[in-house]
Amino acid sequence: MTSTPAARTGDATLGKAADENFPVAPFFLPRAWRGDLMAVYGFARLVDDIGDGDLAPGGADARHLGLEPEQSDDRLAMLDALE
């Protein structure tokens, strides 16, 4: 099975959940809600990473948002692309 660049970017973003207190939260909620909760977490994590400038180098996140890789250092362009 091959993964797409978007899937790898999403996996990297959601992988950061293990470094925080967030992994505990899904276990208190019904299993049916966990996927949706992780989607919201992934969005919030991506916005936070853009704001902090913590994105991986190389522009993969910019490409995932439909921008040119060179725009990966432009935080406002990245945040605008989320709209």
Q: What is the pTM of this model?
A: 0.56
Residue-range definition of the domain harbouring residue 67: 5-17+26-81
The closest of 77, 35, 37, 22 to 55, measured between CA atoms, is: 77
Would you state the pLDDT for residue 1?
47
Report the chain (83 residues): mean pLDDT per 10 consecutive residues. 55 61 69 84 83 78 83 84 78
Q: Residue 4 and residue 25: Cα distance in Å, rounded?
A: 28
CA distances from 55 to 17, 24, 51, 52, 59 (A): 15, 24, 9, 8, 8
- Number of domains comprising the chain: 1
User: What region, left, alpha or beta, does residue 57 occupy, with left being phi > 0 and alpha being psi -120 to 50 degrees?
Assistant: beta
Would you state the pLDDT for residue 60?
80
Would you state the pLDDT for residue 41?
83
